[in-house]
Structure 1
Amino acid sequence: MLILVLNSGSSSIKYQVRDIAGRNDDGVSRNDDGVSGDDGRNDDGGILTEGLIDRIGGSDPGPDAVADHAEALDRIDAAVSAVLGGRELDAVGHRVVHGGERFSEPVLINNEITRAIERLNPLAPLHNPANVLGIRAIAAKWPTLPQVAVFDTAFHRTLPEHAWRYAVPDELYSRYGIRRYGFHGTSVGYVSVRAARLLKIQPENFNAVIAHLGNGASVTAVHAGKSIDTSMGFTPLEGLVMGTRSGDIDPSILIFLLRQGLDADGLDELLNRKSGLAGLAGDNDMRSVVEAADGGAEAAQTALSIASYRLAKYIGGYHVAVGGARAVVFTAGIGENSWRFRALVADRLTALGISLDEAANRAHSKQARVISTPDSAIAVLVVPTDEERAIAEATAAVVSPG
């Protein structure tokens, strides 16, 4: 099946076309050679083409200007058609950030589903409106082409109430939906299965802590293959120290700052765009922070210490939550590429019997791999994520469940 994967933003559309060659009985997609790719070997997952259309709706009158999402899709259509050579797309899979409490799995999109996603806009004002724009643009251009919504929050719908509920008056939940939702679920679900198979454990028996570390970062407790706790909450602001986000903070600080004259928009800007590594070290890029720390910059060293400590605390807590983790798994940009940050975190976890193989940790590879020593009490893995592949596979399963 030829699946067009779309990640629609308010001013950009990231796209990718995948050829999903087939599925075995356990639902894992296979390439033409029959290899699932879940044993640690690297494969491209059937990528035929990919790209990014940006500056949609901008004021630039030049030849690269893109008026709206409809025009962006025309450009994507031209790029895709040049590659497919007469073959036609079978379906479109959309990354949708917020599925609220309703959506616990990928769904075939119709008008009612589109309206339901739109009703969740207040919970993800920077993401869901853009996702809806992409869905409607596809419906207008290719009205008979099946579309599937794959939700970042869906993997976390298995959280027990004691994990998702906040200790605030019940009315805030029943009226406004204030609860823990969790994010990065598409990535975490994909990585969890690959990590389990790498360790030759059935995914439904897998207990692990999965750390998705990029500019946005979260950590998830996986028990028996399901999410039972996660660091991001009502929004992606809660939890770890991130590139520009503060993560966990005493709520009274917000009250204090309001009384000092900062308004709601100012608080949002402060906590989401000016905090985290950027606030501590002056740069939100982990590579730059590590380089500065190596050069003796105290602010960068402090930022790394705070960020690694916060993550190690979560890993320790989630090790308890899952009843004993079989693995700690690093993924996403920082998790896959920053051996230095992985080492800083692992050094704080020696009480759990974790021991890294220094050479394996330092080695650069695009393959899923174990980086702990044979005698480490808990395996430590690096598993590259591939959200587009996960979306394509989920879309194919919905459109052609047999």
Structure 2
Amino acid sequence: MVLDDQQKGLPVGFMLFTAKKDTKAVHADYNKELLTNLLQKWKEGMGKNEEGESFDVQVAATDNDPRERYGLRQNWPEVLLLLCIFHVWQAWRNGLNKYLRAIPKGPDRRSVRTRLAKFLMRLLKEIDIYEDAINAYNTELEDFKKLGRTRNAIAKTQSKAAIAFLTGMAHEMWQSWSLAGAKKAAEIMGIPVSHVARTTNALESFNGRLKGVYFSQYQHSGRLPRIDVWILTMITKVMPDFLEAWVEKRGLKTHYQNMRKIAPKARLPAMQSKVVMPSSPSDSAPASRIQLNAPVSSSTSPHELIARAESWLNSVLSTSGMDPDAADRNAHERIVKLETNFLEQLAEDDSDPLTKTMRSSMSTVLN
């Protein structure tokens, strides 16, 4: 199984083999030679590239099974082997249960377990230099040795149990489960450290679904289905269903990511208002209907439009010899008519937001 760009598992090959008739557990009926041979067949089946190079595996993650690691190393000597940190932690937990059993239950056992657990978590997720890991290990070992030199019986028991656990840790596999190994894998593959698979959870999940959903119906009285049933089911059901769900999940994730993005600020479409204003009044325009000729850009601010409108109206009134403040009733009626005609032109296009703003603003100014 490989991981895609969204860190989802994608199976690329299946290895099926039959167990012996007298085998009690199928997973225990294969050895490193058998697995090495199966991996070799897969490698040969992958063929070569245009340059004649054989299929190469640079980084691989496995559980704690040494037979898998042996088979990978035999076929790809330069492969960087990582250990699933979930299985590593599980092995450490079992070791703590085994060695700390000698300490009486309660705060005495809990204090030692808590301290060792914090130390182990630092090794898994924080320390990425081997010398620092050794120094941290030696510090823990020396502290528990000092604890054993006290006269307290419980302290001596705590010391003995903790030292037994620490002594059983395999130093030679440090890089396989440490942060340093993950960083080296990221460097080899050219990806962020966060994208390095440090667990085999994706594969475990797929295998569980494979056995529980697709093949449980073929198991009768504990007997496994025949090899041809496995192959037929894998080709006609498992992979089509898996790939269909894989494509659907990728589409949903992309959809949700797009929904989370902040939409860009809405911009009004570039348009020209139907209302136009000349810089000077037109002598040929009839008094009852003022013609405006100069285009007004949609980017012009309303304040500038109002100022230009006021200037234009004053120019029209001045040219016509009319005074807005005059007591001449006839002149006042003509001014009102000019203002009304102007507002009618503003009202011609209700769909233009700029025109709406101008009409509202001009109504305030002219009234």
TM-score clears 0.5:
no
* Superposition TM-score tier, normalisation by shorter sequence: under 0.3
Q: More helix per residue: 1 or 2?
A: 2
Q: More strand per residue: 1 or 2?
A: 1
* Structure of larger gyration radius: 2
Q: TM-score, normalised by structure 2?
A: 0.24
Highest RCO, 1 vs 2 (Cα 8 Å, sep ≥ 6): 1
